[in-house]
Amino acid sequence: MKNNYQKLLDSIGSLLFQARQKAFLEVNNILVKTYWEIGQHIIMYEQKNKNRAEYGAHLLDKLSKDLKEHLGKGFSRRNVLNMRNFYLYYSKWQAVPAILSWTHIIELLSIEDNLE
């Protein structure tokens, strides 16, 4: 009886572990895609903006400040810049492997030689 109970307990634990892994991967994929889309929005804004003074640091500083104020943490200037660069380097979403986390993406963005 105890052996059967342990099997039940183990199978439930395994099922829950697998479900949590799937949920984590799905949430990660949604987060990475959202960051890519944020980068896309920034680039589209920059391309339409006629006032060149808004480009670069000024835009990213202001955007970072306003996003943090309205949406909370996760929008440091560096992270917003990474989102922008993510879209620039991978302008086709299909080119981004679904298994990569945001941390992996940041690592890839830091490599200066595209062949690497």
CB 80 within 8 A of CB 33: no
Per-residue tokens: 51: 């006032």
Query: What does the pLDDT read at residue 9?
Result: 94
Residue 105, number of CB atoms within 10 A of its CB:
21
Query: What does the pLDDT read at residue 57?
Result: 65
Using 50 as the pLDDT threshold, list the residues of the chain that sit under it: 53
CA distance 99 to 106: 14
The answer, as to whether pTM is greater than 0.85, is no
Per-residue tokens: 84: 């922008």
